[in-house]
Amino acid sequence: MNASVTPIGKRRRSTNIANQEFTIAVSDCRFAAVENRDYVVLDDMLRLWRRNNIELSLTGALLLCDGAFVHLLEGDSSDVERMFSRVRADPRHENVRLLERRPLVRRRFANWPLAYVGPSRWVSRALHGHDLAEISAENADEAGYLIDLILSFVGDDPGEATALSLSA
Ligand SMILES: Cc1cc2nc3c(=O)[nH]c(=O)nc-3n(C[C@H](O)[C@H](O)[C@H](O)COP(=O)(O)O)c2cc1C
């Protein structure tokens, strides 16, 4: 994957934090391309999803490991809601559990249309004791851990993390 993601700061972005929120959800992956480690397909999808998020000034992150997704979205409430409804209905995953939905204080992935952390033994190790298959809507306390974990892998620089994501 190349790292030619236009900096999000150069795009239309609502400055009214009052109307912004974030969601974080966990789901079971039902995506054959991923299970078969077809990174070309995954790469194309990430490119499309990033483009969509850029259009909507959404930022966020996707983690995929041990057969589960963690998906985080930040942006205008109505856009986050609409995108989350779309994602929730996506047949490439199931058992979608919303861990947290809250007004946004500040974007944690401000430079990321959609950061990506892929399967690796390092991610699995970092998830030890946080079994994604077992996390439910009652485990909102896991949200902070998962956000910090993703940030620890991707950092603030989309170029660096984009290269890292698909080679893991
Ligand atoms: C776990 C997961 C996360 C997703 N995240 C996004 C996302 O951040 N942005 C996006 O445009 N699509 C995302 N998608 C894909 C959407 O569900 C949908 O397929 C895509 O937005 C195209 O929508 P459309 O077919 O209605 O045009 C995600 C799908 C899954 C399974």
Query: Does this model's pTM top 0.85?
Result: yes
Which range has the top average pLDDT, 2-16, 76-90, 137-151? 76-90
CA atoms within 13 Å, Cβ hemisphere of 125: 4
Task: Report which ligand 1 atom has the smallest distance to the Cα of 58.
Answer: 8
Q: How confident is the model at residue 31 (pLDDT cuts 50, 70, 90)?
A: confident
Residue 48 pLDDT grade (very low, low, confident, very high; cuts 50, 70, 90) = very high
The reported pLDDT for the residue numbered 102 is 94
Q: What percent of the chain clears pLDDT 90, i.e. is strictly above it?
A: 67
- Which CATH architecture does the domain made up of 19-167 adopt? 2-Layer Sandwich (3.30)
Quote the ligand 1 centre to 129 CA distance (angstroms).
28
What does DSSP say about strands 59-65 and 20-29: parallel, antiparallel, or unpaired?
Answer: unpaired
Q: How far, in Å, from the CA of 49 to the mean position of ligand 1?
A: 6
Domain boundaries, the chain: 19-167
DSSP-assigned states of every residue in 60-85: EEEEEETTEEEEEEEEEHHHHHHHHH
Whether residue 1 is predicted with pLDDT greater than 80 in this model: the reply is no
Angle at 113 between CA 83 and CA 19, to 5 degrees: 55
- pLDDT, tens digit (0-9, with 9 covering 90-100), for 112-164: 999 999 989 999 999 999 999 999 888 888 999 999 999 999 987 676 445 43
165, pLDDT greater than 50: no
Closest residue by Cα to residue 163 from 127, 116, 124, 108: 116
Alpha-helix residue ranges (DSSP H) falling in 31-157? 32-35, 39-55, 77-88, 121-126, 142-154
List, chain by chain if needed, residues with CB within 6 Å of any ligand 1 atom. 27, 49, 52-53, 60, 62, 69, 71, 83, 86-87, 90, 92-93, 114
Which residue's alpha carbon is at the smallest distance from atom 24 of ligand 1?
Answer: 86
Across all residues in the chain, what is the average pLDDT? 85
Q: In one letter, which amino acid is 5?
A: V
